[in-house]
Amino acid sequence: MTRCMANSAAKYNINVNAIAPGIIRTPLTEGQGCFEEERYSNIIKKYPANRLGEPEEIASAALFLASDMSSFVNGHLLTVDGGFSGN
């Protein structure tokens, strides 16, 4: 969908990108117990970064995509998951 929208909107000088986050510390993930010591230890074994993400890390990716630094980035899915999807 991102690529399709990017291709359609490009002629209007609009870039369309998406962010695919890993597990991020939020009230929802904390409520699910993802950050409780025993469960956290088991989860981070799957993450090369050896930790889960923080909201600021997703915000930084969004800021990049919203800035002029990404002016030639279009139709991209930016994975922000500490290397999880590379396993």
The model's pLDDT over 5-53, given as tens digits with 9 standing for 90+, comes to 999 999 999 999 999 999 999 999 999 999 999 999 999 999 999 999 9
When pLDDT is cut at 50, 70 and 90, the band that residue 79 belongs to is very high
Q: Which residue has the tokens 């923080």?
A: 54
**What integer pLDDT is reported at residue 84 of this predicted model?**
95
Structurally, what CATH architecture does the domain formed by 2-86 represent?
3-Layer(aba) Sandwich (3.40)
Q: Model pTM?
A: 0.88
The two tokens of residue 53 are 């993400």
What residue segments make up the domains of the chain, in order of their start?
2-86
How does residue 87 score in pLDDT terms, banded at 50, 70 and 90? confident
Q: Determine the pLDDT at residue 4.
A: 97
| Confidence at residue 11, expressed as pLDDT on a 0 to 100 scale | 97
Q: Is the dihedral of CA 53, 51, 64, 70 positive or negative?
A: negative
| Amino acid (1-letter code) at residue 48 | P
Residues whose CB falls within 8 Å of the CB of residue 2, separated by 6 or more in sequence, listed in order? 16, 17, 18, 75, 76, 77
